[in-house]
Structure 1
Amino acid sequence: MAGFFAAINSHQSAVDADLANRLMVGLEHYGDDEGCLLSEESAVVGLHLNKRERQNLSSQLVESDCSELFVFDGRIDNRKSLIQDNDFQALATEFTLTELYNLSDAELLFAWVKCFAGERLQSVVGPFVFVFIDSSTGSVIAARDPMGGRAASYCTVEGSVYFASDESIFSNLEGFTYNLSEPKVARHLLMMLEDQPESFIDDVEVVRPGEIVRWGKGIFSRRRYYKPRFDKAVYEQSLATNAREFRRLFDQAVKRRISADGTHFKGQDKPRKEKVGIMLSGGLDSVPVAISASQQLVSSEAELTAFSWCFPETPEADETHLSAPLCDSLGMTQVKIDCDAEPPQLTQDFPVDPRVPFSMPFVAYQVATLKRAAQADISIILSGMHGDLLYAGAKDVIYRALMKGQVRLAIKEFRVLTTLVGSYMEAIKRYLVLPLLPQAMLSRRRVIRQRHNPTIKRMLRDSLGQKLVGRTHWLMTESTLFPRPEQYQKLFDGSAGEDAMHARFIEAPYAIERRYPLRDLELCEFVLSVPSEQLYHRGQMRPILKEAFRSEIPKSIAERNDKTLFVKPILKQIEADQSLKASLQHQEKHWAHFVKDCYFNDADEKYELRQLALWRCAYYNFWTGRTRVLFNT
């Protein structure tokens, strides 16, 4: 499902039909698929559904006989364990065991939420968001999965509460003032990581990852239901033992995202045999996903097609010399996308997400990929995106070696790390000093560094720069339960989930969903508990992954310790696009509210940062013009 909204009146009168229709208009930005509008006493919900979902409405929406509406977006990945839960079976007496297995994901989660009164969501695995409205009591429960794989925002207007997967829908509300959040826009123009999940629109709140929100009698309450789990036994296991478990969880994560293991429809006994795509580079994120997927599909009728970006004019960014032999060995069809022929020009064909005044140049490459996949009748594309987050934060490897009495190894590690960071002093700071500091002190250090960030000072208006500093990370306290707090914060802060949500707008016109095995909850929880030397050891990145796929990953790929970036071809394309600079001189310089005019000529700033900022500011102007048309403002 591309999008939804849900509304309820606090005074329990019927929701105005004209208002409901205006909210439905907000879902039309997702493409030509049909909408579904359903009212129940003082509540109304609207959905944007593709053809398959329209045929199985119960996979997205549950309507009970007791004035209850339950709208659901996502997947339940651990259906079997939920159904076999003894407490659940004892409470869900209206269903036989066979009937429980035949429930859709939405119906199963609805039953789970009702049985446990909104508690025990910790047991549910999968990307999801739901809104449960009981119009007889005038109450709402909404929740989001811990990885942030689906999204929801909410606001109140004149005593009524509104939830939506897309906050731009609220612009259709009478009495709602649509104002962009200046700090949020500024962070995105800077490419600054979020320290707290926030909406792009003032007076709109987001349901945070792993959070449950309740509303009743005009009062909101919110609570983080997800409790992080550190497994000390895993931390003390050998590389060989942990690599076997890593591989099991990795294969499980891939399997969950292939065909019907993703979304279960009511009455569906066997998985549908579909064509599956994968975005394949020559790196250690997408290659293991391709190997795992090809092995799991070998006995089925499903086809696996690889889509690989190539850069004939910028060969240093081209990895098809690595991915092509792999495709041959796995028997996969490979479709090469010539990204040099897909410059990120801001024309009417460039996708504009009305929710977000932000995009990236490589969206042009993504759109070219989706077009080719749609032509091949592919509805699911696997991606290794955000795999780097799994292995982040292994800065205590020297201390781990010393604790084991491996002094020589500690010295060797220090020498290798010194070479990587460029100086002894930097290595001492990163790998000897910072790992000893408590999180509170590290948080204060980050705040100080932000205040003195030269790019903030050079780029942003002074009044804005002050708004971006001074906040601690929202997961700082619970991240201290893990040996690598930085890794925990990056995995669970919601930024990766937000990226995926932005991508869904781009995917919707092609009826394609990209799925991310490396964002699997159980896989991420496991990696959080492994010792650091299994993430980095003796100058080698990701030893646990390489051990888990030993002899399966080609040597030319397994020995890589670098990551190919697409910055060079993108910079080349930006430099060649004369219209970008011209757009900055538009008579309405919307970007100038945030960015100083002199920034793009600042010789003290890195050329790469200035060029990417130029594109983002040009896009902001472009977005503002397009959304005025979309919102009729």
Structure 2
Amino acid sequence: MSFTTVMRRRGVSATGPSASFSRAIQTVARCRPEYTLPSRRLGGAPDAGASRCRRVRYPRPHGGPIGVCGIAGFQGPPAPEILDALSASMRHRGPDDHGAVTDGWASIASRRLSIVDLEHGHQPMSTADGRLHIAYNGEVYNFRELREELRGRGATFATESDTEVVLKAYELDGRSAFRRFNGMFALALLDLRSERPELVLARDHFGIKPLYHARVGDRVFFSSEVKSLLSVPGFRARPNEQRLYEYLRWSLHDHDEATFFEGVRSVEPATCLTVRDDGEEVHRYWEPRLSEDGDPSPERFRELFRRAVERRLVADVRVGTCLSGGLDSSSIVCMIAALIREHSPDAASVGEHLETFSAVFPGDPIDERPWIDAVLEASGARGNFVAPDSAEFVRELGDLVWSLDEPVVSSGPYAQWCVMRLAHGRVKVLLDGQGGDELLGGYVPYRFVYLRQLLRQRRFGRLAREGLGRQELRMLAQRFLPRPGRASMNPVRYLRAAFVDGKAAPRDERVTDDLKKRLLLDLTTYSLPSLLRYEDRNSMAHSIEARPPLLDLELVEHALSLPADALMHRGRSRVIFREAMRGLLPALVLRRRTKTGFTTPEMRWLERERASMTGILRSPSFLTRPYWDGAAIADAFEAACEGRMEQSLFFWRVLNTELWLRVFIDRSPATASVRPGRDWESIGDEMAVALAGSVAAATALAGPAPPGRHRFIADGNGRILARSPLDGGPEQMAATLVDGDVVVVAAAAGIDVERLRAAVPDGVTVAILAEPGGSISQPSIESGGGASSRTGLAAVLAAAMADDPMHGAEHHAALRVREVGRLPRPVAAERERRAAGKVEPPGSPA
């Protein structure tokens, strides 16, 4: 019986003297060319029972973890061109080397980012008889101990690598060997030792390294990234609507094996998937065990943490660290500084100075520079800083969405993306604090879970001593105190009924009155898996290997055995960690109670980039998606920007989904497998042309676009409008106009408006934009010309200027607006009803 099943069956409702307080805190708490290997045993003649493999890389002596960072392959008939395409699609994960093994039954490939033993360490690796092959991504940090144990059982080794240890351990013990590997790994084993060949796919205990699989035709494919599957002939990228629903409605993702791509599943953490001719078998090799009988002394925790950090410094390349200023990353930096002072041999990988990498936000409430500076002063490390900004964020949105593979819960991963980009070229390995909050209770909502636990246990004295800090009180106030004049945001109102119908509500087993159980669920299901995906994709996008010491298996199993009171005490979280680091961490960090981490000032950025975001929300592609009421969402976003509606991460979720659909679903497989850059706007424009279905739209697509904006936008009456910059004198502009066009002229551009009005054909409207870059929702416009009284002109002008398309008016003094088609009737009709006031406008205070 799984642990989650046990918890579900043993759920206990809280009791206590304050039911209303209980309900309140319950709410807040919820890798060179390939070599040919003949089919023969080493030292003997060809043997009919030997491997059928035709291509393999010869293993060469090396010492230590290899650091291969991408694997792929398939079970099924040989197809070298497909295998090459799969490998090439992951070059960013392993730019230093690559290799492959091809058999008549299956094929495996690897991409290498060289971390240890730079001259050797090629993969895949094979046993001497050529019957067992491994493509392996990651490190097993206890490989030396395991190697000695295996030698005692008669195993012999030709190399000093952890890869060979993993291969020999599986050769002797099968899948039960995975349980003893302390590290991070995703691997593929091609086992040809019997008449029933097997392809075994496995991931580490916590899913630090990714692995996905999908059946396409008569083959089962696997890869470190979903996007590489786009190179497979016959694979059609389609959205998984159930997962979209769980994300849009409930903000859930990465909580089970499903992905946003229909038919693609992940190999779950602590799990191996065995593929045979007769089907697939899933085996879970490890289950976490909760107890409260562990040693609660800070000394024992510090010993395990020190060992975990030291193990992750093993490398033949430069190692650095991420530093956010929080407890976890700061502790890693200070522990490395201690190891340097103690002349630990493994600490030599950091070089003369430990390099740290941080994101800062000068002048913003989330900026953590004071804590970072305190850590740098205490440790002697050298800090490197990047200051992400909203304009850069918009420019890089397409590449960010592509790199992350699937939508994310917030824009926060962009800060981590910037840190990894900053570190690229300076270090190849970064340690960070991932997992510490879920392991030891670092997030603010965990305080409420613990308080409810004390209520349930009727430990009222302890409850009274705990109290609530400013951050906890602020969270309660934001959740429960009304905000006059602001309408509430309920995602359900904005999802189409036809999309919601038939979708199952996700099973949410997060408990609200048992701290240890809640932490375990977030560690294994609801929080950490998504964070590990963000970190893997962000680091690999910049060819960097990320290592999280706090997910060391020994350390995790120890933490799971600690009593809850060792984690929370007198309003402080992660107490045992703080006490363990006393004397190493600066007092400013040791006493810190607020929590920020790698994040961004999300809503402030969305408001600052309101024009670009509005362009997405009012684009024909967004408005015609079957998942949401696009017009209502666009109106709600404007209301939130103006303070008439509460801010919500739902806006990010729909924006992220729209861009994900453009990057992966709307593009052809050939283009979807490469970074889009800023093309996410042109992808939306191409969809608008398809929706309009007119020659005029196709012609507009071939012309220039407003700088940094979509060409097409839709108005309140369902009209698809094409915007094109105009240059030259009045007569030159007039020569490009036809009946029904609208020309918007920037008053400050110095164009002779009277000459333009005299030159334009009848039926063309000339409108003057008095303040370029001014109000977006209600620009100051004066209109004139032959079509000034045309019905709906106001709607056309409002829509055409909604995303401030003349923000580059210093380059283009005038803009042509032309109707090129209409939205599909159901969408247009809904917009017309809303424009007529027959639908309650979002942002109206309840």
What amino acid sits opposite 1:580 in the alignment? Answer: M
Contact 1:313/1:340, CA 8 A, preserved across alignment: no
Q: CA deviation at 1:305?
A: 1.0
After superposition, residues 603-622 of structure 1 pair within 5 angstroms as 606-613=646-653, 615-617=655-657, 619-620=659-660, 622=662
Counterpart Cα distance in 1 of 2:624 and 2:568:
41
1:411 aligned to 464, 485, 495, which one?
464
**Which residue does 2:257 correspond to in 1?**
197
**Which residue does 1:365 correspond to in 2?**
415
2:558 aligned to 508, 518, 526, which one?
526
1:507 aligned to 524, 539, 542, which one?
539
Q: Aligned to 1:111, what secondary structure does the other structure show?
A: helix
Flag structure 1 segments of 5+ consecutive residues without an equivalent: 261-271, 427-452
After superposition, residues 39-58 of structure 1 pair within 5 angstroms as 39-50=102-113, 55-58=119-122
Q: Which has the higher contact order (CA 8 A, sep 6+)?
A: 1
Q: CA deviation at 1:15?
A: 0.4
* Worse-superposed segment, 46-55 or 215-224: 46-55
**Which residue does 2:125 correspond to in 1?**
61
**Which residue does 1:264 correspond to in 2?**
none
Counterpart Cα distance in 1 of 2:256 and 2:235:
24
Structure 1 residue 133 corresponds to structure 2 residue 190: yes
Counterpart Cα distance in 2 of 1:499 and 1:67:
37
Would the alpha carbon gap of residues 245 and 464 (structure 1) be closer, same or farther in structure 2, given more than 3 Å must change?
Answer: farther
Would the alpha carbon gap of residues 28 and 512 (structure 1) be closer, same or farther in structure 2, given more than 3 Å must change?
Answer: closer
What amino acid sits opposite 1:42 in the alignment? Answer: W
Q: CA deviation at 1:610?
A: 4.8
Q: CA deviation at 1:59?
A: 5.9
**Which residue does 2:615 correspond to in 1?**
582
**Which residue does 1:27 correspond to in 2?**
90
Structure 1 residue 318 corresponds to structure 2 residue 367: yes
Q: CA deviation at 1:389?
A: 0.7
Structure 1 residue 4 corresponds to structure 2 residue 71: yes
What amino acid sits opposite 1:337 in the alignment? Answer: V
**Which residue does 2:633 correspond to in 1?**
599
Structure 1 residue 83 corresponds to structure 2 residue 147: yes
**Which residue does 2:171 correspond to in 1?**
114
**Which residue does 2:357 correspond to in 1?**
307
Q: CA deviation at 1:311?
A: 1.6
After superposition, residues 225-624 of structure 1 pair within 5 angstroms as 225-234=285-294, 237=295, 239=296, 241=297, 243-260=298-315, 272=316, 274-298=317-341, 299=343, 300-301=347-348, 302-303=350-351, 304-314=354-364, 316-340=365-389, 343-347=392-396, 350-353=399-402, 356-359=405-408, 360-375=410-425, 377-392=426-441, 393=446, 395-396=449-450, 408-413=461-466, 422=476, 455-465=490-500, 469-472=504-507, 484-493=516-525, 496-564=528-596, 569-577=601-609, 578-589=611-622, 592-597=625-630, 598-602=632-636, 606-613=646-653, 615-617=655-657, 619-620=659-660, 622-624=662-664
TM-score with structure 1 setting the length: 0.80
Structure 1 residue 161 corresponds to structure 2 residue 220: yes
Would the alpha carbon gap of residues 564 and 462 (structure 1) be closer, same or farther in structure 2, given more than 3 Å must change?
Answer: same
CA offsets, 1:177-236, max 9 Å, x none? Answer: 4322122234444532544231232223321111122222322111211132345431xx
CA offsets, 1:321-343, max 9 Å, x none? Answer: 22213212211111121224763
Counterpart Cα distance in 2 of 1:571 and 1:416:
25
Counterpart Cα distance in 2 of 1:454 and 1:341:
24
What amino acid sits opposite 1:532 in the alignment? Answer: A
TM-score with structure 2 setting the length: 0.61
What amino acid sits opposite 2:603 in the alignment? Answer: L
Q: Aligned to 2:402, what secondary structure does the other structure show?
A: coil
CA offsets, 1:409-447, max 9 Å, x none? Answer: 343336779957749x99xxxxxxxxxxxxxxxxxxxxx
Q: CA deviation at 1:252?
A: 1.7
Q: CA deviation at 1:549?
A: 1.3
Q: Aligned to 2:531, what secondary structure does the other structure show?
A: helix
Counterpart Cα distance in 1 of 2:433 and 2:95:
29
Counterpart Cα distance in 2 of 1:89 and 1:125:
19
Q: CA deviation at 1:615?
A: 4.1
1:216 aligned to 262, 265, 276, which one?
276
Number of residue-to-residue matches in the alignment: 572
Higher Rg: 2
Counterpart Cα distance in 2 of 1:401 and 1:471:
28
Choose between structure 1 and 2: higher helix proportion. Answer: 1
**Aligned-pair identity (%):** 19
Counterpart Cα distance in 1 of 2:273 and 2:600:
44
What amino acid sits opposite 1:6 in the alignment? Answer: G
Contact 2:523/2:529, CA 8 A, preserved across alignment: no
Q: CA deviation at 1:554?
A: 2.1
Would the alpha carbon gap of residues 473 and 220 (structure 1) be closer, same or farther in structure 2, given more than 3 Å must change?
Answer: farther
CA offsets, 1:449-491, max 9 Å, x none? Answer: xxxx974413433344456644435899xx99x9722111111
Counterpart Cα distance in 2 of 1:290 and 1:483:
28
Q: CA deviation at 1:112?
A: 0.5
Counterpart Cα distance in 1 of 2:86 and 2:121:
20
What amino acid sits opposite 2:107 in the alignment? Answer: V
Would the alpha carbon gap of residues 244 and 514 (structure 1) be closer, same or farther in structure 2, given more than 3 Å must change?
Answer: same
Counterpart Cα distance in 1 of 2:468 and 2:412:
36
Contact 1:195/1:472, CA 8 A, preserved across alignment: no
Would the alpha carbon gap of residues 585 and 290 (structure 1) be closer, same or farther in structure 2, given more than 3 Å must change?
Answer: same
What amino acid sits opposite 2:80 in the alignment? Answer: A
* Worse-superposed segment, 171-180 or 534-543: 171-180
Counterpart Cα distance in 2 of 1:572 and 1:249:
41
* Worse-superposed segment, 347-356 or 326-335: 347-356
